[in-house]
Amino acid sequence: MKTLKWLWVAALLTIGFKLYGLLSAGPNGYGSNDMESFVGMVFAFALISVVLIVVWIIGRTKKTFSSKLSKNSNSEQP
């Protein structure tokens, strides 16, 4: 999970630098290969974000269910 978070941060920083380069290059200064690279990075960032959110939701759900199960098992014991 830590590695995925670092990849998320690295992707975000790379996208930021690419976007800065895109904005500072002007209307005719950015090539099509660079644009494809930028779009690919945005898609990778979105995919990593979705994976992080899904893993976080699964972790929260497991934590909630385990706490409910432990409360129920403790209340049933005499």
CA atoms of 25 and 69, how far apart (whole Å): 58
- Tell me the whole-structure pTM to 2 decimals: 0.68
Q: How confident is the model at residue 58 (pLDDT cuts 50, 70, 90)?
A: very high
Task: Look at residue 32 in the predicted model and tell me its pLDDT.
Answer: 72
Tokens, residue 77:
């014991």
In which band, very low, low, confident or very high, does the pLDDT at 2 lie, cut at 50, 70 and 90? confident
Report the chain's mean pLDDT, rounded to a whole number. Answer: 82
Q: Of 1, 2, 4, 77, which Cα lies nearest the Cα of 44?
A: 4
Q: Quick one: average pLDDT of 28-57?
A: 83
Q: How far apart are CA 4 and CA 54, in angstroms?
A: 12
Mean pLDDT of 24-43: 78
Give the range of the structural domain holding residue 67, as residue numbers without chain letter: 2-76
Q: How many domains does the chain have?
A: 1
